[in-house]
């Protein structure tokens, strides 16, 4: 699994709850149905108030986002236990969310689904970077580097959850580790494994 994720960042503030990540009206979409998985991606972060976030995470009419890295403040993913939240982000092409802190269930769902890496930063980053700036997240070195300025931010190590996301989620991990039987399944959000 890739240890380096590079691309433009999308920056949000504190307390981004699951209703802002995927508004409740789209919860009629079932993530295990491939077309609906794709659609969830189109709505990722569309619940953010427009006045605070004039640039959308996913452009109108598109299924994917141009931002593989999301940077957030405290308590990212608070609220509901809907797995639609990390799935919408993953489906849109988000690979990593770097936040000052995560809400418990969102963190766990990100790992269980293997959709994205939930990385905690050592310090607050969301006030120091702007949407659209290009950055590099290095999971081995535990750093986020802003390409233009060269500024480096430290990330907390992912620890035990890294191999689970690397494997593509809880079930694949359990299979690779011999805890349950069967063959590991390719990751849903890998290129070549998409339906649209």
Partner 1 sequence: MTLTEKILARAAGKAHVQAGDNVWVDADILMTHDVCGPGTIGVFKREFGQNAKVWNKDRVVIIPDHYIFTCDPKSNRNVDILREFVREQGITYFYDVIDDPAGSWRFDPAAGPVKRQHGSHYAGVCHVALPQKGHTRPGEVLFGTDSHTCMAGAFNEFATGIGNTDAGFVLGTGKLLLKVPATMHFRLEGKLQPGVMAKDIILHLIGEIGFDGATYRALQFSGSGIPHLSMDDRMTIANMAIEAGAKNGIFPFDGRTAEYVDSRTRLNGTKTTYDPVEPDPDQNFVFEHVIELDKLEPTVACHPDPARRRLAKELGHVKLDRAYIGSCTGGKTSDFVEFARILRGKRVAIDTFGVPATPEIVHELKSTRWGGKPVWEILVDAGVHLTENPGCAACLGGPLDTFGRVNSPLKCISTTNRNFPGRMGHKESQVFLASPATVAASAVAGRIVDPREYS
| Contact track, partner 1, 154-173, x by CB under 8 A | ---------------xxx--
As a whole number of angstroms, the distance between CA 146 and CA 135 comes to: 4
- 190 is an interface residue for partner 1 by CB under 8 A: no
Nearest to 189 by CA among 57, 67, 59, 87: 87
Q: Cα-Cα-Cα-Cα dihedral of 132, 112, 164, 159, to 10°?
A: 70
Number of residues this chain uses to bind partner 1 (CB under 8 A):
41
The residue among 78 and 92 lying less far from partner 1, judged by its C-beta, is 78
Nearest to 174 by CA among 111, 103, 115: 111
Asked whether 99 and 86 are in contact (CB, 8 A), the reply is no
| Minimum CB distance to partner 1, residue 164 (Å) | 11
As a whole number of angstroms, the distance between CA 192 and CA 196 comes to: 10
| Contact track, partner 1, 118-157, x by CB under 8 A | ----------------------------------------
Nearest to 165 by CA among 95, 79, 100: 95
Unique residue bearing structure tokens 């535990």: 142
| Contact track, partner 1, 10-39, x by CB under 8 A | -----x-x-xx--xxx-xxxxxxx------
Of the candidate residues 44, 72, 78, 97, the single one contacting partner 1 (CB under 8 A)? 78
Residues that bind partner 1 (CB under 8 A): 15, 17, 19-20, 23-25, 27-33, 47-50, 74-75, 78-84, 101, 103-105, 108-109, 112-113, 169-171, 180, 182, 185
């Amino acid at each position: 699994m890739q240890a380096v994720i590079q691309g433009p960042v999308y920056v949000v503030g504190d307390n981004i709850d699951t209703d802002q990540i995927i508004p409740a009206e789209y919860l009629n979409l079932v993530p295990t149905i491939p077309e609906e998985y794709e659609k969830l991606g189109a709505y990722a972060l569309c619940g953010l108030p427009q006045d605070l976030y004039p640039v959308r995470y996913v452009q109108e009419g598109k299924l994917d986002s141009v931002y593989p890295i999301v940077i957030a403040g405290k308590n990212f993913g608070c609220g509901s236990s809907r797995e639609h939240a990390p799935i919408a982000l993953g489906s849109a092409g988000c690979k990593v969310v770097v936040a000052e802190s995560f809400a418990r269930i969102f963190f766990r769902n990100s790992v269980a689904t293997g959709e994205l890496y939930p990385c905690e930063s050592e310090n607050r980053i969301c006030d120091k970077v702007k949407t659209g700036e290009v950055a590099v997240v290095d999971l081995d070195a535990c750093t986020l580097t802003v390409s233009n300025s060269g500024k480096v931010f430290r990330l907390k190590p992912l620890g035990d959850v890294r191999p689970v996301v690397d494997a593509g989620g809880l079930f694949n991990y359990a299979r690779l580790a011999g805890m349950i039987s069967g063959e590991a399944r390719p990751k849903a959000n890998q290129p070549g494994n998409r339906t649209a």
